Amino acid sequence: MKRYDIAIIGSGPAGLSAAINSKIRNKDIIVFGYKDFSSKLVKAPKINNYLGFHDISGIELKEKFEEHINAMNVELTYERVNNIYAMGDYFSIMVNETMYEAKAVIITTGIEYTKPLKGEEEFLGRGVGYCATCDAPLYRDKVVTVIGYNKEAEEEANYVSELASKLYYVPMYKDHYDLRENIEVVNEKPVDIVGDDRVQKLIMTSREIETQGVFVLKDSISPAQLVPGLLMEDGHIKVDRTMKTNIEGCFAAGDCIGKPYQYIKAAGEGLIAALSAVSYLDSKK
């Protein structure tokens, strides 16, 4: 399999700045992101604090970014990365069924992940899971609750219900639910996941359910879920001044590493992360 020098995850200002600077240093890169680059970019009505571009709209700035990366032959791969595994000397990057490999990784995924529920992190792996299809067979003939933040969660709930003795579905959105008949929909707000050394109960605003497993299925992936083993601090990826994370070869930049949330800060950090990744690669030679 082809092994890239650097994989950049995210196409906001941090990711794009990391991309052009890696390219300038002749690295073989892959950049994952979206056609619009970042919804936070195209949504901004007026930007007055990006040096060199006074009174520019988000869309105009996006077009400038686009001209820039096109001129430097930086191509985007329009895919969402599900998991990044630190294998030792390289990283395996999973995109649904496809796998990519890179020697170094730069995380620039921005910030918009939903806050964890009370007890969610505490019981992770001890009854709480994020991938129903992965762990479902371990809950055969047990009571399972799926907290679903989107339509896709319904499919996973249907699958788990084939194995579980009882399945509760707690929707975090309003819609019509395509669920199997034997699934009980609970329209309540989850408050707390409790137990002893394992999950025992899900406490909601006006009801409690006894359950041995709770799957929390969200839209956005928090960095610690994206990169197992990644160290976080106060909801952000922990980095040092060179944008190095606790995992060798893994760097991070932009909103995902902390405040202030600003374009030019993100771009500056993307530059630092790229240069750090380059020196990391050189040190391995």
Partner 1 sequence: MIKEIMDSSFLEEVEKQEGVVVVDFWAAWCGPCKMLAPVVEELSNEIPGVKFGKVNVDNNPQISQNFRIASIPTIMVFKDGNVIDTMVGFRPKSELENMIKKHI
Ligand X SMILES: Cc1cc2nc3c(=O)[nH]c(=O)nc-3n(C[C@H](O)[C@H](O)[C@H](O)COP(=O)(O)OP(=O)(O)OC[C@H]3O[C@@H](n4cnc5c(N)ncnc54)[C@H](O)[C@@H]3O)c2cc1C
Residue 14 makes contact with ligand X by CB under 6 A: yes
Nearest to 128 by CA among 141, 113, 147: 147
Beta-sheet strand order (sheet of 128-129): 128-129, 213-217, 143-148, 166-171, 183-185
Tell me, residue by residue from 79 to 98, as one string, x for binding to ligand X by CB under 6 A and - for no binding: -xx-----------------
Within residues 54-83, the interface with ligand X by CB under 6 A covers 80-81
10 binds ligand X (CB under 6 A): yes
- Kindly report each contact of residues 229-236 with a partner whose C-beta sits within 8 Å and lies 24 or more positions away, as own/partner: 229/86, 230/107, 234/258, 235/111, 236/111
135 binds partner 1 (CB under 8 A): yes
Question: Quick check: 140 and 163 in contact, CB under 8 A?
Answer: yes
How is residue 230 written in tokens? 């990644």
Q: Which is nearer to partner 1, 17 or 276 (CB)?
A: 276
Residue 90 near which of partner 1, ligand X, none (CB within 5-8 Å, type-dependent): none
Structure tokens at 110: 């921005």
Q: For residues 150-179, which are near partner 1 according to CB under 8 A?
A: none
Q: Which of 182, 248, 261, 279 binds partner 1 (CB under 8 A)?
A: 248
Q: Which of residues 196-215 bind partner 1 (CB under 8 A)?
A: 198, 213
> Alpha-carbon distance 167 to 160, whole Å?
8
Unique residue bearing structure tokens 């788990």: 160
Q: At a CB cut-off of 8 Å and minimum separation 6, what does 125 contact?
A: none
**Is 137 a residue that touches partner 1 (CB under 8 A)?**
yes
Instruction: Name the residues that contact ligand X, by CB under 6 A.
Output: 9-15, 32-34, 38, 40-41, 43-44, 47, 49, 80-81, 108-110, 221, 226, 254-255, 261-264, 266
Which residues of the shown chain bind partner 1 in the complex (CB under 8 A)?
Answer: 83, 85-88, 92, 94, 124-127, 129, 134-135, 137-138, 198, 213, 228-229, 247-248
